[in-house]
A = this chain, B = another copy of it.
Amino acid sequence: MANAMLLPVLISFLVLPFSAMALTQDFCVADLSCSDTPAGYPCKTGVGAGDFYYHGLAAAGNTSNLIKAAVTPAFVGQFPGVNGLGISAARLDIAVGGVVPMHTHPAASELLFVTEGTILAGFISSSSNTVYTKTLYKGDIMVFPQGLLHYQYNGGSSAAVALVAFSGPNPGLQITDYALFANNLPSAVVEKVTFLDDAQVKKLKSVLGGSG
């Protein structure tokens, strides 16, 4: 078969359907300047390789704080390329003694992969309040089902780092303490719906900047 003959006809065959299919949706990089929708952001135009790449997890988060931990997200807001793809990521840095406090992700399951150090992690089922807990070393993975309370803390003697992947581009993060104490929900209401003592509620409201 002569290339010279094959060339024009094959191209004409292939070019035609592809121009006709120019609207095919292989991906939908978020246009964050538009309003979100229940299925994610509208797609931006003018996509390049950089849209599918994110450098923001390469550097360690700053753990020079009292909880000695940092969460660095690569959700759709930071990494628009994951829009519509059902996945996102984050980096966890936990110094010795550090902790990622009890929290949930309302909109995704989480898969944690330890890249450095030792992490103690656990989640609590809703059906029976059973605690599922593991000590994780470098290379271990653990999965936390969507919406369930879970936590991680450094269980070793050196800094711990983990990559976290989520089953959605916008998993959300609700830290229980922050939800209870870092806003203007009146102390009396917090106490009523948590059975915590007034002094405890007011102490944590003070610490976390809440009012009421």
Interface, chain A (partner B; CB < 8 A): 3, 5-7, 9-14, 16-18, 20-28, 31-32, 34-45, 48-50, 52-55, 57-59, 65-67, 69-79, 81-89, 91, 99-102, 104-111, 113, 115, 120, 122-134, 136-149, 151, 153, 163, 165-168, 170-180, 182-185, 189, 192-197, 200, 203-204, 206-209
Distance A177 CA – B202 CA, assembled complex (angstroms)? 18
Distance A74 CA – B163 CA, assembled complex (angstroms)? 15
| 19 residue pairs bridging A and B, Cβ less than 8 Å apart | A11-B182, A13-B66, A13-B67, A17-B73, A23-B127, A24-B77, A25-B36, A26-B172, A35-B45, A36-B42, A37-B40, A37-B84, A57-B141, A87-B165, A87-B166, A99-B193, A124-B174, A124-B185, A126-B172
Would you call A139 and B87 a contact (CB within 8 A)? Answer: no
Would you call A10 and B66 a contact (CB within 8 A)? Answer: yes
**A126-B173, A148-B174, A207-B3 known; A57 vs B139 contact (CB < 8 Å):** yes
Would you call A140 and B31 a contact (CB within 8 A)? Answer: no
Would you call A180 and B102 a contact (CB within 8 A)? Answer: yes
Would you call A132 and B49 a contact (CB within 8 A)? Answer: yes
**A9-B67, A65-B9, A65-B12 known; A136 vs B21 contact (CB < 8 Å):** no
Distance A94 CA – B186 CA, assembled complex (angstroms)? 21
